[in-house]
Structure 1
Amino acid sequence: MAAHPLALDLALTVRHDGHGGVADDLRDPDGLTEWVRERAATLPAVPDAARFTADAGTAEAVRALRAAVRALFARAVPGGPRPDGSEPPPGETALRRLNEAAAAAPAVPHLTWSEGAAPAAGWGPAGPASPRDALCAALARDAIAFLAGPDLARLRACHAPRCVRYFLKEHPRQEWCKPSCGNRARVARHHDRHRA
């Protein structure tokens, strides 16, 4: 299960590979299949997400949506990282891609209320949709909610050398997405001071 908002979790599927390059967790259908299945509980609008199987077209569509989300994150956090050395889609293209994906599989609110539990609101498909459309729509709707919500103010880009990640700032002094990035940044500063 995701420890972040789903939109941030999607953006984090692009990361530093530890060797100076960039790794993509969604580079192929198997990577996307694993990623979706691990987050099945956070994707109620995707029918049978726990047994989801991606194809090449779905993986490509999700990567395009991720590029739009990362472009919008970069717009929200000036100076943010570039995903893989390529230019992100322009802001209007990213907005259009996000909104089109959200509209591809309409969802409606529904109420669940198990015996002995509190009622819970959720979203479910309004009608039949392809697995690709259902997944992209669910991811896009989450990204829209995140970008228009209060957590956007805490979104930051990690500025450690070679890092391409975003994070939600948890405390005032947090500068990096994880401790290893902080260590890498301090080592780089140390080397820069001693080279001069």
Structure 2
Amino acid sequence: MEPPITYYTKAEYIETDTGNKVSRKSVICGSQNIVLGGKTIIQTECIVRGDLRRTGGGHAVVIAIGRYCLLSQRCILRPPYKTYKGVFNYYPMKIGDHVVIGEDSVVEAAQIGSHVHIGKDCVIGRFVIIKDCCKILDGTVIPPNTVIPSFSVYGGNPGRLVDELPESTQELYEARTKQFYYEKFIAEHA
């Protein structure tokens, strides 16, 4: 599936030294606790909750996002949480390189590997681990604590294995995210 060309207003986005493009219309909480790997795009109305972190001193990386990732419009990233021995805590979220998260998806995973595509309107439950080279179909709900093996396609509610991906998935996803960043996400001339 070829990604469509997306036009954006340059003034609406903040571009960092490492090439990240973050919409001014997104809500980024606790930015000191969020690490973007470079050339990542965070589109309008996304919510990234870096402020939800363990209590205690020092800065902790709450959400780490790799290179060439795309957070589509209105998606929500918040770290997973649980109560352990009577103490409520948040835990870090790590997202690999070349990851696409579709519009209106809510993600509370502990870890998302590299070369992963999450469709639109998905709910990824707390402490889910998605290994490298996976696809989550549109509208899928992944229950908490699920581990999704590499080269899997998950769909449905609750999400379950529906297909497998070819070994060329890594190269395909890498080419697609780079193409979107360089050729399909285009600033409008004002």
TM-score (norm 1): 0.24
Structure scoring higher RCO (CA < 8 A, sep ≥ 6) equals 1
Q: Give the greater-gyration-radius structure (CA).
A: 1
Q: Which has a greater percent of strand?
A: 2
